[in-house]
């Protein structure tokens, strides 16, 4: 979410209000809420999103981060290549590592991963973000892949001369510079959680909801993030389990859907029979997910308060897929009243999509050119 959207919608609410972002992503809503003197609570199912959002919104002694970073590097030069149990005892995860990393980079990453695991605090979290920044890259980095930051990872080589230790040093220096110019404030509580079942929040306790649900044809960030998360203690099986709770996952519903409910949700969404088979398969799950998160929004929001959702439509086979109409249907079925919808252009340079082709009928070039900022009221 663009910071200016968050500022526009949060600057008028009273200080100390509780702002919820149940799909917190990198933590922009939390950052803006804190800068305006509001308390924030954010949830996500992606461990990398949680790590980044937490680091960005928490106070930390940057001098100590730099000191610890160099201490880790000094130890990494001397320590023997360690075993990492979540990798070495899991055949699938080990094979994944061997595919995406050349031997030299794997050995260096093993050392850093082993040493960083000893710092389970805010210092260690900053350094884990720094480590991830040299793996989740668009171009050259610690892995053998490219376009990892856009979650379109593809292997481009079998050799790599990237110096992981030098890259890690540059990265934690850069992260500290960013945090120095935009320090955290400890006003946000960010934790693992599913937007469809916000069990940590009691009824009618939230003053404002500001969030951006995944778009139907949006980037699957888990695909890229897992290449770093396997160095932070996760197996591929664990990551698949977390990903299965993602909104907008490209698969059928987990159980037999309520066809009557689906019919109401899909009114005005588009010519569904003309959509591609993959969209036809994903749409019921996506619709039911949006219904469930709308239901949770209504439950936790105080009466008389607002929820703002940023969402974009897409195209399938040249036909409009109106995710905004779908969310409006879901929200109103759960008791919300739509106050306003504002359309905002999305710059092509900001879209994580393959580069547009020159052909006029290219459907990828039609996706997500605008996004809708929809504000609802709980009566």
Return phi, psi of residue 20, to 5°.
-110, 135
Q: Which range is most confident: 122-131, 137-146, 244-253?
A: 122-131
Contact between residue 280 and residue 250 where contact means Cβ atoms under 8 Å apart: no
Question: What is the full DSSP assignment across 183-229?
Answer: ---S-EEEEE-BTTB-TTS-TT-EEEEEE-PPPTT---HHHHHHHHH
Per-residue confidence band for 196, with pLDDT thresholds at 50, 70 and 90 = very high
Find the mean pLDDT for residues 265-279.
Answer: 93
For the CA atoms of 175, 176, 179, 184, what is the dihedral angle to 10 degrees?
110
Summarised one tens digit per residue, pLDDT across range 176-192 is: 999 999 999 999 999 99
Domains and CATH numbers, the chain: 3-42+197-216+246-377 (3.40.50.150), 62-181 (no CATH)
Residue 126, sorted as left (phi over 0), alpha (psi -120 to 50) or beta, turns out to be alpha
Q: Answer yes or no: is pLDDT of 369 > 60.
A: yes
Distance between CA 379 and CA 373 in Å, rounded? 19
When the pLDDT of each residue in the chain is averaged and rounded to a whole number, the result is 92
Summarised one tens digit per residue, pLDDT across range 26-67 is: 999 999 999 999 999 999 999 999 999 999 999 999 999 999
Per-residue confidence band for 254, with pLDDT thresholds at 50, 70 and 90 = low
Summarised one tens digit per residue, pLDDT across range 301-317 is: 999 999 999 999 988 88
């Amino acid at each position: 979410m663009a910071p200016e959207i968050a500022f526009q919608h949060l600057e008028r609410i009273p200080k100390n209000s509780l702002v919820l972002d149940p799909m917190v992503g990198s933590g922009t809503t939390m950052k803006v809420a804190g800068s305006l003197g509001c308390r924030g609570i954010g949830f996500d199912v992606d461990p990398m999103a949680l790590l980044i959002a937490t680091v960005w919104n928490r106070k930390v002694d940057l001098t100590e981060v730099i000191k610890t970073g160099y201490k880790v590097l000094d130890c990494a030069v001397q320590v023997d290549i360690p075993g990492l149990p979540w990798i070495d005892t899991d055949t699938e995860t080990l094979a994944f590592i061997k595919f995406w990393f050349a031997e030299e980079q794997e050995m260096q990453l093993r050392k850093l991963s082993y040493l960083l695991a000893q710092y389970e605090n805010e210092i260690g979290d900053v350094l884990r973000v720094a480590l991830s920044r040299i793996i989740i890259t668009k171009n050259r980095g610690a892995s053998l892949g490219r376009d990892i930051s856009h979650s379109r990872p593809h292997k481009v080589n079998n050799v790599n001369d990237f110096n992981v230790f030098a890259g890690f040093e540059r990265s934690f220096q850069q992260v500290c510079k960013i945090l120095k110019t935009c320090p955290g404030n400890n006003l946000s509580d960010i934790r693992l959680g599913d937007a469809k079942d916000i069990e940590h929040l009691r009824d009618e306790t939230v003053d404002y909801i500001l969030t951006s649900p995944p778009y139907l044809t949006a980037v699957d960030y888990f695909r890229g993030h897992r290449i770093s998360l396997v160095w932070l203690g996760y197996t591929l099986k664990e990551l698949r389990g977390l990903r299965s709770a993602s909104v907008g996952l490209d698969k059928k519903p987990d159980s037999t859907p309520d066809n009557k409910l689906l019919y109401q949700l899909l009114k005005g969404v588009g010519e569904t029979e003309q959509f591609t088979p993959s969209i036809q398969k994903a749409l019921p799950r996506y619709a039911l997910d949006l219904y469930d998160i709308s239901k949770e929004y209504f439950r936790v929001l105080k009466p008389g308060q607002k929820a703002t959702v940023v969402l974009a439509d897409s195209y399938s086979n040249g036909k409009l897929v109106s995710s905004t109409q779908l969310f409006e249907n879901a929200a109103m079925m759960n008791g919300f009243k739509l106050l306003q919808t504002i359309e905002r252009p999305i710059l092509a340079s900001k879209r994580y999509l393959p580069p547009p082709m020159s052909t006029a009928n290219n459907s990828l070039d039609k996706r997500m050119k605008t996004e809708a900022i929809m504000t609802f009221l709980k009566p």
